[in-house]
Each structure stands twice: as C-alpha cells, then as structure tokens.
Structure 1
C-alpha cells in the first residue's frame, strides 16, 4: 500500500492511497480508515462518533471488496473530511456502474451496495475516463434528533 498524499487543505483533511487490488487490500483499507479518523481527532480536534468510525470502516470495506472482486487491477482509496461528513471515494478500473439488487432475504452475499446505500447520507457513482469512481458520505457526528444515531434530520 502506498500513501500518495495526506493534506490539510482549506476544505478537507484528506488521505489517498493506491491499493494493490488483492484480498489484502480490504483489511488495509479498513485500517487506513480507522487510522485516518483517529488521526484527525487527535491532530485536529475533530469529533468523530464511534458509530461514524464503525460505519466508515464498513463502507470502506464494502466498496473496496466490490472493487477487488469485480474490477481488474489497482484500487484508489481517498478519505476526506468535508464539512460534517467523512467522504469515502473508491476508484477502480471497471467502467460498469454498480446497481443495487432488489432485496432478497434468501440471497447469500452480494449485499454490499445495499448496505452502503442504507448507512450512507450520500452515495454517487460516476464513470471516469478510465474506470469508475464511487463516493459515499458518512456523517462524522450523530444527530441527536434523528430516528437512529447517524441519521440526519431534514
């Protein structure tokens, strides 16, 4: 795993890494997410709820797993804090955009995208000149007025 950048810009605290695109990449990505959020808390005093920490690792794991399983080659993972959210961006070399499947309690596996869409406050998928880019946003603080922790009230 090679770390390409870690910066504290005007708008975002950020880290970007290139992952090999193999099975070890999934665990590396989860650890990177935990380390990144721990570091922004310690170094910049940013509050990150335990739920946001857990959900960020879950989303990173699901998105990187999909990239490793369905796309050839390396995976690029970008984590950043923008406003009140952790943005998780995963790029891979396959241009086919993911599609959430209809709910099926009998289906074993292939629920990753459903999970991401259920826990994220925002989700986007775009084709790139090479491959695709998936972005998910997780609130880094829980909203006490929400129906459940981590959810935002409108």
Structure 2
C-alpha cells in the first residue's frame, strides 16, 4: 500500500515540514525520503550540520514511524522542525500505548528502535493527547 502524504510545495520554508501518512509499510521508506528532502532544503538554506546528520535523521524518523505502524492503528503524522542546534523529529499516532524504553541487551532480537533513537538524540519525549500520542526526538545538527 502506498502511503498518501502531503508533499511540501517547492517554495515551502526550509525550517519545517509536515507529512500525513495513511498507513502501510510503504510509509517507512517514504519517511526517509521526506527527511532527505528536508535536510537538502536545510543545506540549501545554509544550515551547518555534521556529515552524518542525514543518515542519523533518516534512521530516527524511520524508527519512530515503524513504531507507529506496529503499535497504533491508522494514520500517523511526521513533523520535522529546525530548532536551535538540532532538528525535532516528531511522530503522532492514534495509539493509546506508550513506548517502552528498554535497557540495552545485545542478546535481544529486535525491539532496539528506541534504544537507537535515545543514543542518537539529545532528548526523546512522549506527549499524550486526546486520541493518541506524539513521540518527539531532538537530533543535534553536530
């Protein structure tokens, strides 16, 4: 299933983007594509970032979208925002459950997504709302 999402217009500001996904596994690689376009706009706007930033941002976004796909029914929203010295990557979904931050375990197979996200990001916060939650991760530019 191809996710339906709103692409930003060519003249959209470089500092934020919002994409709505209907669902389905295709939204995971699509989220990486959205991040790639966002980071390209940041670079064009002269934002200084580490050489590894794009790869880290793509990984964080795809892990958060994967969790939304696995643990929440229905659509999700990906919001990317330039904030001070980083980018906030936020995924909102309609699931009632909260993410489980598990301790590192090299013997565990799978369920390492949030472990990866917390190692890459300065801050990871879950905010509940009336019909679900938003998980936000702040990834430093350098």
Match of 1:73 in 2: 74
Asked whether 1:3 is paired with 2:6, we answer yes
The normalised TM-score by structure 2 is 0.90
The normalised TM-score by structure 1 is 0.83
Distance of 1:73 and 1:5 partners within structure 2? 22
CA RMSD of aligned residues (A): 1.6
Q: Structure 2, unaligned stretches of length 5 or more? A: none
Match of 1:109 in 2: 110
Match of 1:149 in 2: none
Residue 102 of structure 1, CA deviation: 2.7
| C-alpha contact (below 8 Å) 1:97/1:126 kept by paired residues | no
Residue 16 of structure 1, CA deviation: 0.1
- Equivalent pairs counted in the alignment come to 137
Q: Deviations over 1:68-102 (max 9, x none)?
A: 11110001000010111111000011021111123
Match of 1:131 in 2: 132
Match of 2:31 in 1: 29
Q: Structure 1, unaligned stretches of length 5 or more? A: 143-154
Residue 48 of structure 1, CA deviation: 2.3
Larger radius of gyration: 1
